[in-house]
Amino acid sequence: MTVNPAHTILWPAPHASGAVDATVHVPGSKSVTNRALVLAALASEPGWLRRPLRSRDTLLMADALRAMGVEIEEGVGPDGTGEFWRVIPAGLRGPATVDVGNAGTVMRFLPPVATLADGAIRFDGDPRAYERPLHGVLDALRALGARIDDDGRGALPLTVQGGGALEGGPVEIDASSSSQFVSALLLSGPRFNQGVEVRHTGSALPSMPHIRMTVDMLRSVGAQVDTPESGGEPNVWRVTPGALLGRDLTVEPDLSNAQPFLAAALVTGGKVVVPDWPSRTTQPGDRLREIFTEMGGSCELTDYGLVFTGSGAVHGIDVDLSEVGELTPGIAAVAALADSPSTLRGVAHLRLHETDRLAALTKEINELGGDVTETADGLHIRPRPLHGGTFHTYEDHRMATAGAVIGLAVEGVRIENVATTAKTLPEFPDLWTGMLGV
């Protein structure tokens, strides 16, 4: 992917001179695209993805699957239907090398896939990827019969010695540091000889909507999945072995990436329309309708999409974000501009995301004059008048977009390395200036 060199230095975040009024077409969901790619690669017939997200995380996923033998053709559909990817599954094989970048979905979803390959699959990634938790997936795979060589830390870099099949069966994991451990095992589960039964044994499990997304998408390609919600035991998911269908799936807009645009309407007292907002979805970003309404906006979901309107007032909020952790940076940015304090709770695991998001938000907002303190599991934010300055992003796409939201209301904010938004939204700087008409 080409990165505009100007965006890797300091990007003057545009200041809003008035209320925004824009329609923003938000590209496809990262979480849906990467699940769809994995499921299509494991299917027994070709499948299609329409309007897939093209970003660093999803291109890494596509490249990794290609390296293991899957064919992915790219094209553009007729009549404005947008881009499509046609995924043609093949016998997975090594040797191959997978670059996970700093994509949680790639580093967690693919080691289970690699156990099904014939040959060695080596995994490597960005320095931060070495620090992000992976042990839950690796320990589980070993317990299910896989051979994995690592340096003993239960982290990247590592090599999965794919044996062409995995026995599978019941396994216990502690997924309190990432829901992606559970999703990873479930996604490949239909292809294990005995399927898989995942029992989460640790403390609270974050990001439950993302596990529901995994289950929904598995079922939509013909997998049989028993869940706590479908009458099973609490914290236990069971996937029956079986073939997966190739599907024709249109990817929903990424609702977490819609967040900065909705936030723009909220903090400027303006209006933003996001076309194709789904009426029913497992994406955690759908919770923004409720959260940003409580913070002062209002929503109307029409057949065309979501119409979100700010009132001019921005209120603080006391909210448990454990189910929707990836929304935290954007909510913190709005909270720093509110008329009352906020408490964001339930997100201790964000310390092991792209960066330590709790530390990064605290430091960067405070350096602009804010008053944020870290708690054991979140942030306490007391709004104060902010001033301009450099907002560092720590190679975290959501830090960059959070800084841009603050920049709308505060003159002189410069975002360091806005190009890091390429992880999930390479078009961010252009969409942002387009929204503002600058």
Ligand X SMILES: O=C(O)C1=C[C@@H](OP(=O)(O)O)[C@@H](O)[C@H](O)C1
Ligand Y SMILES: C=C(OP(=O)(O)O)C(=O)O
- Annotated binding site for 3-phosphoshikimate: which residue ranges? 30-31, 35, 178-180, 207, 326, 353
Q: Where are the alpha helices (DSSP H) in 189-258?
A: 208-220
How far is residue 209 from each of residues 14, 255, 415, 435, measured CA to CA in Å?
33, 13, 31, 29
| Alpha-carbon gap, residue 305 to 26, rounded angstroms | 11
Interacting span for ligand Y (CB under 6 A) from 38-46, 101-109, 120-128, 365-373? 101-109
**Count of residues interacting with ligand Y (CB under 6 A):** 8
Partner from ligand X, ligand Y, none contacting 207, C-beta within 5 to 8 A by type? ligand X
List 104, 136, 269, 403, residue binding ligand X (CB under 6 A): 104
Taking CB under 6 A as the rule, which mask of x and - marks residues 186-215 in contact with ligand X? --------------------xx--x-----
User: Which residues line the annotated binding site?
Assistant: 30-31, 35, 104, 132, 178-180, 207, 326, 353, 357, 398, 423
Torsion over CA: 218, 34, 133, 169 (sign): positive
170 beta partners: 197
Q: Does 210 bind ligand Y (CB under 6 A)?
A: no
What tokens were used for 320?
Answer: 């448990």
* Contact criterion met (CB below 8 Å) for 159 and 149: yes
| Alpha-carbon gap, residue 245 to 166, rounded angstroms | 20
Q: Does 342 bind ligand X (CB under 6 A)?
A: no
CB neighbour list of residue 368: distance below 8 Å, 6 or more residues apart: 386, 387, 388, 389, 391, 406, 410, 413
Closer by beta carbon to ligand Y, 103 or else 196? 103
Restricting to residues 122-151, name those near ligand X by CB under 6 A.
Answer: none
Closer by beta carbon to ligand X, 347 or else 435? 347
Q: Does 103 bind ligand Y (CB under 6 A)?
A: yes
Q: Does 326 bind ligand Y (CB under 6 A)?
A: yes
| Alpha-carbon gap, residue 215 to 370, rounded angstroms | 41
Partner from ligand X, ligand Y, none contacting 417, C-beta within 5 to 8 A by type? none
Task: Give min distance, CB of 133 to ligand X, in A.
Answer: 8
Residue ranges in contact with ligand Y by CB under 6 A: 103-105, 326, 353-354, 398, 424
